[in-house]
Amino acid sequence: MAEDHDVRTLTDPAELRAAAELFRHTLHVGPMPDAAWERHGPADDEHTLGVFTTGGELAGTAYSFPSRLTVPGGARIPAAAVSGVGVRADRTREGRLGALMWAQLSAAAGRGDAAAMLRASETAIYERYGYGIASRSDEVAVRAHPQWRPEAPGGGTVRMVGADDELGPVAALHERLAGQRPGAITRTRRWWRRVATPAEGADAYRGAAVHLPTGSERIDDGCLDDADGLVAWGLTEAHRPGRRDTLLVHDLWGATPSVVTALWRFVTGIDLIEGVVARHRPRDENLDLVLADPRAVTVTSGGRDELWLRILDVPAALAARTWAPDGEIVLRVHDPLFDDRSGTWRLGPDGPSPAAGAVPDLETGVAALAMAYLGDRTPSELVAAGRWAEHTDGAARCADALFGVPGPVPWCGTMF
């Protein structure tokens, strides 16, 4: 695909800024002020591509930054976090997006990334390039100052922390907590810089706090080694003098359900607010079970796609995650862009082994494999929907058990 269009890596500062502005224009957002560009411009570890017209005009762009994705069992695999994908309105439907995707995925595979991942603004696009929905999330709204059930878990202490450009130790705390949730990713320094002080103001971090376990109630010299949870919030819109605000939760992470509940107690108890909104929350949070009035929380949008995953190195990805202790299947996986990466593997408690000559029990493409890889969907669900093919009776049930290791549901929790 890439040979049909002029796709190249952008390194010139003027081209990088033009790419950023092109992407903003595809989202119907105005130009970025010079000061914001100075602060939020590209970093050395990012990879920005541009696709050009025959006359040399920039027609589309995509970039990625290096990250690591937590998989079931707690291991992390190298993954390219893809963002900034856009094609100019007068240059769409001419194969340029496909050329960008092919070039980007080829480069990521060449760098040794086991996967690529993105958050889709349009959901009908990316499956053709091998991406599948690997996690889903809920948008929730919680009334201010709700009553909590007396038996609801809690404990410990919540303390405010200062927010510098990168939120300092909070970033390290997030990295630690993200290792406990399949689908969570590591964040770069630039990510923290951009989110803590975005180019447009209403969503900026206005406050951050951490949870400390019982017996550890002080933060000494900014050290958060004892902390086991964090919450950071802004506003859903610019502050309106004389009116109560709705807080927007950017981040809320806890090492245990008890810590998560304690952080929700804190943020909903802040004075002079009318409520709290969180746009992307894990589907196993179950706030209604710990509130005295379950209607104090409303799922305003449930089960929306969150993380889209594109597995690039199937055996490496399969080997990285944990599997249930019983069962064995032969799985055939097709890759629509890279046929040399298609293959057949015998999959059991010890992970994958090549099985090139074996008859597959189950067969699927990399996009539908991604839907089961982190645990969001079961193989049986995917067989029933026609996304996987079952060639051996009972193989899907066996795969359900094999893929279904204990742990939280997958959730990314990071916008990028």
Active site residues: 126, 416
Cα(133)–Cα(373) distance, rounded to whole angstroms?
Answer: 10
Q: Kindly give, in sequence order, each residue whose CB lies less than 8 Å from that of residue 33, ignoring residues fewer than 6 positions away.
A: 199
Q: Which of 253, 258, 262 is nearest to 282 (CA)?
A: 253
Q: Are 416 and 81 contacting, i.e. CB atoms less than 8 angstroms apart? A: yes
Three-class SS state of 175: helix
Cα(1)–Cα(131) distance, rounded to whole angstroms?
Answer: 17
Q: Which amino acid, one-letter code, is at 92?
A: T
Positive or negative torsion for Cα 238, 241, 246, 252: positive
Three-class SS state of 329: strand
The kind and range of the H/E element at 362 are strand 362-365
The kind and range of the H/E element at 200 are none
The kind and range of the H/E element at 64 are strand 58-70
Q: Which of 380, 382, 381, 352 is nearest to 367 (CA)?
A: 382
130 φ, ψ (degrees, to nearest 5)? 95, 5
Exposure letters 280-307 (e unless 16+ CB within 10 A, then b): bbbbebebeebbeeeebbbeeeeeebbb
